[in-house]
Chains A and B, each alone.
Chain A
């Protein structure tokens, strides 16, 4: 079974047309000693059986219905309206490809243009591309853009930027002559943690191509970026802002208004469930003067021969299929379907809907913190935060998280030791508009029980 409709009679007739005896004759260019290996694969499964098998695999994962979850750290469980997945299941969307032939892909192209517009409106930037793979590779491409623009060797990155994003950016520049300088941007005060961007501002110099900051930062804190932006301006460095949770933009000042030159982030939570971390969609937006350095696809508005409004992939001379080794990036396939989901979601939520889920997220996180404090926890975050905060775990975050899971049946958060060993007694707790009062009750009870 291969979904191939040809019958043996079809094949025989086609082979006659081709002028060969058998299908084997079509593979004669393969070295004979390596031809026709036996593939050691499990037997083929019909539809019913393969669904059953995958359901069994799924049953070995806990979902948010099985265990109350306060996991965030860049991937948030947000409300996605029902119409989004109904649309994403339309064949016209998901079984098409990159709109190389615009006359046959106006749907995808207009949706891309609307996506770009929504990203610009949310971020306060001038130009958005049609997406990169995920938040991490979007940051990597931002770093590459700034390096190409300034021809300076150094990148200064706050340690409060998502650790996986930092790692991916470091991988992307590993073969290039780039110094990747990670600077502490949060400081411990006993059991608490507070932002401190001064060292970051001081690390920027005339050899710095860009400074990378996150907002809300990886610890959930909303930090005044102005000292960093001012320092960058003084030294001619660019400012890259990672958006911690796109829903935060329903409330927070757009990074474009704060002085960002490039804004990146992960949009998955607007389009669907976390799907074990992928596919995500990397947001990538810049100031207008950087448009010709942007990696990836961009849709533009134009007209057809009759003067009718239409959309087309534009500025393609930036891209690998035209520019080859001089392209702005090697990216080809992006995350179009995820961005379509985000576009539909933002459209359906609208101005008030996005603001309300942002407000509800903020409320849920702050009420969760109160409930934890009532249960005897020390809230470590000593700064304004959006929907994520740190809790102190004297016995160590890893130990406490394991006890909360095994004895308390909750996924309480993420061990902040991934940011810095100095934080390995802090747990990062996230809440959103989908967090229920009973989830919080379960967390508070578990915390008190495992004290």
Chain B
């Protein structure tokens, strides 16, 4: 594939792109309305034709792999099919062309949708209260920890530590720091679960919460979850669950029933809203009743047949979004849940877990499996056998690109050497899984007989491996204007 020039390179002085609307009013001279010192002298934007802009971005899009292109088993990200009907409903003019400052009388449909979605998510997770305001999982985490801190404070307690298993997503410790907490790492036990003895030692009057991921990032359900929750509660601390992996649990267990206090949901993972090349997501927060007064404000409430925005609770942690969250994605997630119903959601979890176990069973002769037990929605292999042949997990990942499959998440969780974290999701067919199995086996053979094929990979992508060192050392993060430095 050839280089695509920058949009600036398609520019020619005086060329017009799309024409703005015809003016509706007699023009007002900006120089008369505003002091000249406040006006800009130059606007260095490209001047490209509409067709050139269209072709430029179309050609760029061709350089992307996507779920709709082929399998995308990126662990922990739940790259499931994004139903097309969701895109239709999100673009319904009555749901898209609504201003966030409209009075409630003029946006009852939007308020009803948020209210109903929160109720659906409550039913799915078992938590009595949900806020769909957080814009993504990590903002949900921040809201969750701030809610927990506010709850402790309401009881006259100041707690300064958060326990985070060493298998956790990086967001968990980062959120701990943003919440002003000291992050204490918990080692993982031999079976991939939480080490209860260590947990007991780590718990104390300074611990505000534990942040755990369920199923864990190893793709394993925490067998001792009830004991963990009891120990944490006995120490006066709260249990935060990172819900990135809710896709494994739909209709199989409600996390609230396990005694978890607060959990965020990534609507762009479990509930099929598209990942958008890196977002937007949506990170609903679900809590037990004792934490409800601390949820972000404002909240949508029902008053008879009408929906309104409640006066903020005086104990609320406050606002985390300019408005009521990523509403467009709430429409998509709502559409998804209403499309699937209880049976469909459970079927999604069942097939997601079955697909991952099928990969686990089919590839365990070719790749090391650090935890030999039934997994949930994803399976984590270790490229340790291949490393002894001089091939790294990175090489395996890059070789998958040559076969047209997006690599799994690699080198995460960080406690697994040479980790390959594969999450097929329920929307891949058996044939699609068999293709991945076939390719992974071929790569394992190549590692033995032709390791350079892996070292040199990818060769069938728009570009070969990149010079990331120079990119970091001498960052070039914008086009430098002509005549600039």
Q: Which of B171-179, B197-205, B383-391, B442-450 contacts A (4 or more CB under 8 A)?
A: B171-179
1/0 per residue, CB under 8 A from B, across A62-82: the answer is 111101010101110101011
- A54 and B58 contact, Cβ closer than 8 Å, known pairs A37-B257, A171-B318, A355-B43: no
Report the bound CA distance from A222 to B57 in whole Å. Answer: 35
B72 / chain A contacts, CB cutoff of 8 Å? 96-97
> Which of B91, B103, B354 contacts A401 (CB under 8 A)?
B103
A167's nearest neighbour on chain B, judged by CB, is B319
Minimum Cβ distance to chain B for residue A93 (Å): 6
**Contacting residues of chain B (300-335) with chain A, CB-CB under 8 angstroms:** 317-329, 331, 334-335
- A27 and B176 contact, Cβ closer than 8 Å, known pairs A41-B337, A92-B64, A359-B27: no
Q: Which of A202-210, A233-241, A306-314, A372-380 contacts B (4 or more CB under 8 A)?
A: A306-314
CB atoms of B44 and A351 under 8 A apart = yes
A96's nearest neighbour on chain B, judged by CB, is B66
B150's nearest neighbour on chain A, judged by CB, is A174
Report the bound CA distance from A87 to B83 in whole Å. Answer: 17
**Contacting residues of chain A (17-66) with chain B, CB-CB under 8 angstroms:** 17-20, 23, 25-31, 34-47, 50-51, 53-65
CB atoms of B67 and A91 under 8 A apart = yes
CB atoms of B109 and A61 under 8 A apart = yes
CB atoms of A253 and B343 under 8 A apart = no
CB atoms of A91 and B325 under 8 A apart = no
Most buried by B among A90, A106, A304: A106
Most buried by A among B30, B225, B465: B30
**Contacting residues of chain A (106-164) with chain B, CB-CB under 8 angstroms:** 106-108, 110-114, 116-118, 120-122, 126-128, 130-131, 133-137, 144, 162, 164
Report the bound CA distance from A327 to B175 in whole Å. Answer: 9
CB atoms of A314 and B468 under 8 A apart = yes
B325's nearest neighbour on chain A, judged by CB, is A278
> Which of B225, B281, B351, B358 contacts A4 (CB under 8 A)?
B351
- A2 and B39 contact, Cβ closer than 8 Å, known pairs A61-B95, A305-B465: no
A27 / chain B contacts, CB cutoff of 8 Å? 221, 252-253, 353
- A308 and B20 contact, Cβ closer than 8 Å, known pairs A4-B351, A104-B461: no
Q: Does B38 contact A (CB under 8 A)?
A: yes
B21 / chain A contacts, CB cutoff of 8 Å? 79, 357, 360, 433-434
CB atoms of B374 and A276 under 8 A apart = no
Q: Does B156 contact A (CB under 8 A)?
A: no
**Contacting residues of chain B (41-85) with chain A, CB-CB under 8 angstroms:** 43-48, 50, 53-54, 56-58, 60-69, 72, 74, 77, 79-83, 85
- A337 and B276 contact, Cβ closer than 8 Å, known pairs A17-B358, A276-B327, A350-B17: yes
Q: Does A193 contact B (CB under 8 A)?
A: no
Q: Does A320 contact B (CB under 8 A)?
A: yes
- A96 and B221 contact, Cβ closer than 8 Å, known pairs A51-B85, A401-B103: no
Q: Does A330 contact B (CB under 8 A)?
A: yes
B406 / chain A contacts, CB cutoff of 8 Å? 101, 104
Q: Does A362 contact B (CB under 8 A)?
A: yes
A346 / chain B contacts, CB cutoff of 8 Å? 45
CB atoms of A336 and B278 under 8 A apart = yes
B272's nearest neighbour on chain A, judged by CB, is A3
> Which of A6, A164, A360 contacts B354 (CB under 8 A)?
A6
B422 / chain A contacts, CB cutoff of 8 Å? none
Report the bound CA distance from A46 to B340 in whole Å. Answer: 8
CB atoms of A107 and B100 under 8 A apart = no
**Residues of B within 8 Å of A, CB-based: how many?**
208
CB atoms of A349 and B17 under 8 A apart = yes
B441 / chain A contacts, CB cutoff of 8 Å? none
Q: Does A284 contact B (CB under 8 A)?
A: no
Q: Does B464 contact A (CB under 8 A)?
A: yes
CB atoms of B64 and A107 under 8 A apart = yes
> Which of B43, B169, B360 contacts A354 (CB under 8 A)?
B43
Q: Does B451 contact A (CB under 8 A)?
A: no
- A357 and B57 contact, Cβ closer than 8 Å, known pairs A18-B354, A26-B353: no
Minimum Cβ distance to chain B for residue A423 (Å): 15
B90 / chain A contacts, CB cutoff of 8 Å? 275
Report the bound CA distance from A416 to B252 in whole Å. Answer: 49
B105 / chain A contacts, CB cutoff of 8 Å? 405
CB atoms of A351 and B318 under 8 A apart = no
Minimum Cβ distance to chain A for residue B317 (Å): 6
CB atoms of B462 and A18 under 8 A apart = no
Q: Does B120 contact A (CB under 8 A)?
A: yes
CB atoms of B342 and A337 under 8 A apart = no
B138's nearest neighbour on chain A, judged by CB, is A330
Q: Does B289 contact A (CB under 8 A)?
A: no
Q: Does B136 contact A (CB under 8 A)?
A: yes
B169 / chain A contacts, CB cutoff of 8 Å? 320-321, 332
Q: Does B415 contact A (CB under 8 A)?
A: no
CB atoms of A171 and B99 under 8 A apart = no
B100 / chain A contacts, CB cutoff of 8 Å? 75, 274, 276-278
CB atoms of B466 and A303 under 8 A apart = yes
Minimum Cβ distance to chain B for residue A79 (Å): 6
Q: Does B139 contact A (CB under 8 A)?
A: yes
Q: Does A188 contact B (CB under 8 A)?
A: no
CB atoms of A29 and B221 under 8 A apart = yes
B4's nearest neighbour on chain A, judged by CB, is A110
A37 / chain B contacts, CB cutoff of 8 Å? 126, 251, 253-254, 257
B82's nearest neighbour on chain A, judged by CB, is A95
A312 / chain B contacts, CB cutoff of 8 Å? 466, 468, 471
A414's nearest neighbour on chain B, judged by CB, is B101
Report the bound CA distance from A101 to B402 in whole Å. Answer: 12
A396 / chain B contacts, CB cutoff of 8 Å? none
Most buried by B among A58, A291, A303: A58
1/0 per residue, CB under 8 A from A, across B470-485: the answer is 1110011111010000
Minimum Cβ distance to chain B for residue A422 (Å): 20
CB atoms of B47 and A97 under 8 A apart = no
- A39 and B4 contact, Cβ closer than 8 Å, known pairs A6-B351, A30-B221: no
- A353 and B337 contact, Cβ closer than 8 Å, known pairs A320-B174, A330-B142: no
A356 / chain B contacts, CB cutoff of 8 Å? 20
CB atoms of A309 and B3 under 8 A apart = yes
B290 / chain A contacts, CB cutoff of 8 Å? none
Q: Does A299 contact B (CB under 8 A)?
A: yes
Q: Does A449 contact B (CB under 8 A)?
A: no
CB atoms of B326 and A331 under 8 A apart = no
Q: Does A450 contact B (CB under 8 A)?
A: no
> Which of B40, B56, B92, B478 contacts A55 (CB under 8 A)?
B92
A278 / chain B contacts, CB cutoff of 8 Å? 100, 135, 280, 321-329
B171 / chain A contacts, CB cutoff of 8 Å? 320-321, 330, 332
> Which of A51, A101, A116, A353 contacts B20 (CB under 8 A)?
A353
A437's nearest neighbour on chain B, judged by CB, is B24
Q: Does A168 contact B (CB under 8 A)?
A: yes
Q: Does A451 contact B (CB under 8 A)?
A: no
Minimum Cβ distance to chain B for residue A443 (Å): 13
Report the bound CA distance from A40 to B102 in whole Å. Answer: 32
Q: Does B288 contact A (CB under 8 A)?
A: no
- A350 and B16 contact, Cβ closer than 8 Å, known pairs A34-B253, A168-B322, A277-B324: yes
B142 / chain A contacts, CB cutoff of 8 Å? 172, 330
Q: Does B188 contact A (CB under 8 A)?
A: no
Q: Does A212 contact B (CB under 8 A)?
A: no
Minimum Cβ distance to chain B for residue A409 (Å): 10
Report the bound CA distance from A359 to B376 in whole Å. Answer: 57
A41 / chain B contacts, CB cutoff of 8 Å? 120, 123-124, 337, 341-342, 345
**Can you list 10 pairs linking A and B with CB atoms under 8 Å apart?**
A1-B340, A3-B426, A44-B344, A117-B478, A278-B100, A315-B475, A333-B278, A347-B53, A357-B20, A363-B23
A-B CB proximity, top 9 nearest: A58-B94, A277-B323, A277-B100, A44-B341, A337-B276, A60-B109, A91-B68, A336-B278, A279-B280
14 other contacts beyond A10-B429, A50-B338, A175-B149, with CB at 8 A cut-off? A2-B426, A50-B89, A113-B479, A133-B139, A165-B322, A177-B180, A278-B325, A298-B475, A304-B463, A310-B463, A320-B171, A340-B276, A353-B17, A363-B23
